Amino acid sequence: MSWWTEWPTGPIRTAVALLVAAVGIAVVVTYPGLVREARDEADANSEQAYVDREVAGGNGLVANQQALYAARALIPADATYHVAIAGDYEGGDELTQDHVASYFRYALIPRRPEERAAWVVCYGCDLAEYGPRAEVLWRGDEDISIVHVPS
Amino acid sequence: MTAHSLAGLAGLNALYLAAGAAFLWLVRGAANWIDAVRFLGLAYVVGVVVTGSLWTLLLIVGVSFSLGLVIGLPIALAAGFAIVARLRGRSVPRGGRLEGGWPLVVTAVGIAASGLLLEALFRPARLSGLYEFDGWSFWVPKGKAIYEFGGLDDGFFTSLPGAAYPPLVPTLDAAAFHAMGSVDVVTLHAQYWVFGVGLVWALAGLLAERVPAWILWPFVVLLLLAPRLGRRLQIVEADLFLDMLFVLAAVLLIYWLLDRQRWRLVVAAALLCGMVLTKREGLLLFAVLLAASLVASAREWRIAWPALGVVTAVVAATAIPWRVWYVTHDVPGEGPSDGFVQGDRLDVLGPAIRRVFDVLWDPGYWNIVVPVAVLALVVAFVARVGRIAVFFGVLLSLVLLGGIWATWVFSLTGEGYVVGGNFVIRFLGSAVLLCIAASPLLLGATWTKVASAPTRDTRPRRIGLAAAIVVVPLLAYPVVAVAGGAPRFPTRDECSRPATADAPDLEVVYGRFDDPREADELLMRLTVTGFIGAETEFDACGRWKVSYDAIDSLGQGEALAAEVRKAGFEAQVEHGG
């Protein structure tokens, strides 16, 4: 016992042992929770629909998953495109207005974003502004369209 | 999401390991196989960094990033390092003897506990979607761009957010895509999990040199239990990767200051090069690490400082090409846009300091890591353990000051913004990981100083017991997990589930299409032919399905499918949903 109390080294030994014991207790207390959490998350991930897992961070943000898949199918891999979103567009979630173009940029690579591209993903935009030659190739819920404007 | 992707990743990581192991063998040698296994984690991390840094530099000078380069470079490095090692007289490791007794049993418990946690964390990582904002906003798009275009495409690399961030991590992502054979961003999470395994192994292997097992392993397990560390091992962002390099470099540098083994400095230099190619914070962390090393070696500055100068030169030479690239491409720099000191924002300085300490002390982020590290530092100073305490004391203080500065100058202010936002939490991960490495080193050094000299353990070696403690749980966990259901490897075809018996959800499926126009066209042809009532629907696998769902029985469905096939279409009775 005196080994733990003799001055000056005993209290230091005790302090070291107590700190390691505190960490040991924290480990024992939190360990099962992490194993459980990991299992639950794995189950949730496994049960997800393919499309929900693939769109992941874009769910909600893109308002309609179909828009993303339609854009991939319709816009050629070597083409450029533009995501236009009306200032008063109310679909999607709180990130849609500012970040939907960013998500499309991620999802549509190798297609390149370009301001005046012939392919336009329209979120609530006025299709008339693309002129009479603009062709709506896909139109989905939530007022989203994919438009091709021949040059 | 497929076994093929996982196998590809396994192959790529084996190449990293081979390159790193050969590098470590060259610069350090390996006394025996026990020694080699202990350093396997460090070898892996070094392999990732050396290979990844060279890929990055090659990309910057315009070399095309192809599958050949992905496979060829690590093989060439492994072969080259191994040949030079042999020429320099490095011998192949032989034999090895485990120190037995209770320390071995404690080590076994630690390996089993951390190994089982890593196994548990692999499960969510394997099928995790890409949810992290920065992940899909710029880290992964950069990796995809490298993969798709074979280089640093000007269009993407100058316009994506974080354009000035160096491209090491996107390059590693692109290598993973090549190895997987596709842009599988789901399985990419498993790559980051492997980085995490490398970190844990490397750190434990290094610390075990100087820290008794009973002090070491609780901290190693705690690393995984700190919510912002363990739960984020698989996150497809560069923060934890950067922290990992920083902490391993810090441990190697303090070891070098203590024993002057040159290989430690060489490996630390490689890790530091990786740091400055990972994130702009890498420059800051390199600077604070250099400063702490200079302070801790002040008494031997004649010997230590020139060596640290050489390391700085190597790191600078690695960092400069990327900075030249982005400057010549008109990308705004890495520093704060309003200057490094912002006199007109002094009102934010106080909140920035508070925010840093609030985050640092939050057990919801870091468990009890930080308070324990502070107490360990105090105990070490009281015990006068010397250089280790000075080094970590200075380093932690500088990291905190760096965090406060960055929070202050990079903070967005105004309504809706929290000072520092998420940045401060991510940045402080480096301080916390440093705490995890420092605490056992400080306590181990303290213990060595105040405890009596260790007596030789003459009790049984308990190797069988130790082996059982490691092997049984690590094998049992996956067996139990698989018993609850075989692992799924989802594909886009999983939505097609042919029916073999009556069920309430039957439908006749005429086709599935990536292109909605093809689905509409098929629907029209079916309708014209007389098959009325079919409709198109977007399925849960991202395809447009043309189907007819008013089916009461399998027999009725089969009869309709046969009739449709006779008319020249395809048809199959499936379960709907």
Cα radius of gyration (chain A): 28
Angstroms from B491 CA to nearest CA on chain A: 7
- CB contacts < 8 A, A to B, total 172
Task: Please report, for residues A138, B125, B178, B454, B545, the alpha-carbon distance to residue B517 in angstroms, rounded to integers and kept in the order given.
Answer: 8, 36, 31, 78, 11
Q: Is B171 helix (H, G, I), strand (E, B) or coil?
A: helix
Residue type, B363: P
- Asked if residue A112 and residue A86 are part of one domain, the reply reads yes
Neighboring chain B residues of A23 at a CB cutoff of 8 Å: 218-219, 222, 368, 372, 439
- Asked if residue A64 and residue A95 are part of one domain, the reply reads yes
- Among the residues of B181-280, which ranges form H helices? 188-207, 213-225, 227-230, 239-259, 262-276
Q: Which stretches in chain B have pLDDT values below 50?
A: none
B127/A53 CB distance under 8 A: yes
- Asked if residue B257 and residue B204 are part of one domain, the reply reads yes
What ipTM is given for this predicted complex? Answer: 0.94
Neighboring chain A residues of B146 at a CB cutoff of 8 Å: none
Look at chain A and report how many structural domains it folds into: 2
Facing residue for A26 by CB, picked from B127, B367, B447 = B367
- Asked if residue A74 and residue A34 are part of one domain, the reply reads no
Q: What pairs with residue A83 in β-bridges?
A: A121
Give the integer Cα–Cα distance in Å for B288 and B394.
9
Neighboring chain A residues of B156 at a CB cutoff of 8 Å: 109, 112
- Asked if residue B233 and residue B263 are part of one domain, the reply reads yes
Task: Please report, for residues A148, B215, B229, the alpha-carbon distance to residue B433 in angstroms, rounded to integers and kept in the order given.
Answer: 51, 16, 8
- Asked if residue A62 and residue A38 are part of one domain, the reply reads no
Q: Token pair of B278, please?
A: 């990972």
Give domain status of residue B557, yes or no.
yes
pLDDT at position B61, please? 96
- Asked if residue B557 and residue B459 are part of one domain, the reply reads no
Q: Token pair of B435, please?
A: 């705490």
Facing residue for B121 by CB, picked from A38, A107, A138 = A38
B-chain residue closest to A114, CA distance: B155
- Asked if residue B175 and residue B111 are part of one domain, the reply reads yes
- Asked if residue B250 and residue B216 are part of one domain, the reply reads yes
A106/B372 CB distance under 8 A: no
- Asked if residue B517 and residue B474 are part of one domain, the reply reads no
A69/B542 CB distance under 8 A: yes
Neighboring chain B residues of A66 at a CB cutoff of 8 Å: 516, 538
Task: Please report, for residues A69, A108, A111, A136, the alpha-carbon distance to residue A140 in angstroms, rounded to integers and kept in the order given.
Answer: 11, 18, 21, 11
Find the domain containing A80 and state its range.
Answer: 57-148
- With cut-offs at 50, 70 and 90, classify the pLDDT of residue A96: very high
Nearest to B195 by CA among B17, B335, B316: B17
Q: Token pair of B361, please?
A: 């002390």
pLDDT tens-digit profile of A129-144? Answer: 888 889 999 999 899 9
B136/A58 CB distance under 8 A: yes
Find the domain containing B500 and state its range.
Answer: 495-575
- Asked if residue B463 and residue B540 are part of one domain, the reply reads no
Give domain status of residue B137, yes or no.
yes
Cβ burial of B301 (10 Å; 0-12, 13-18, 19+) is exposed
- Asked if residue B562 and residue B456 are part of one domain, the reply reads no
- Asked if residue B242 and residue B163 are part of one domain, the reply reads yes
- Asked if residue A124 and residue A63 are part of one domain, the reply reads yes
Cβ burial of B64 (10 Å; 0-12, 13-18, 19+) is exposed
Residue type, B465: L
Facing residue for A57 by CB, picked from B136, B215, B231 = B136
Given a cut of 70, whether residue A78 has pLDDT beyond it is: yes
Give domain status of residue B475, yes or no.
yes
Residue type, B447: W
- Asked if residue B523 and residue B461 are part of one domain, the reply reads no
B218/A52 CB distance under 8 A: no
Q: What share of chain A is helix, strand, coil (3-state, %, to 5)?
A: 55, 15, 30
Contact B118, B223 (CB under 8 A): no
- Asked if residue A30 and residue A101 are part of one domain, the reply reads no
Q: What pairs with residue A120 in β-bridges?
A: A82, A147
Angstroms from A129 CA to nearest CA on chain B: 24
Give the integer Cα–Cα distance in Å for B59 and A91.
41
- Asked if residue B546 and residue B468 are part of one domain, the reply reads no
Angstroms from B103 CA to nearest CA on chain A: 15
pLDDT tens-digit profile of B450-464? Answer: 887 666 666 677 888
Q: What is the pTM of this model?
A: 0.94
pLDDT at position B224, please? 97
Neighboring chain B residues of A50 at a CB cutoff of 8 Å: 490-492, 494-495, 540-542
A31/B117 CB distance under 8 A: yes
Which residue in B515, B537, B544 has the most chain A C-beta atoms within 10 A of its own C-beta, making it the best mutation to test that interface? B515
Angstroms from A111 CA to nearest CA on chain B: 10
Sign of the torsion angle spanned by Cα atoms B173, B179, B181, B185: negative
Give domain status of residue A89, yes or no.
yes
pLDDT at position B417, please? 66
B516/A70 CB distance under 8 A: yes
B517/A137 CB distance under 8 A: yes
Give domain status of residue A52, yes or no.
no
Give the integer Cα–Cα distance in Å for A138 and B503.
34
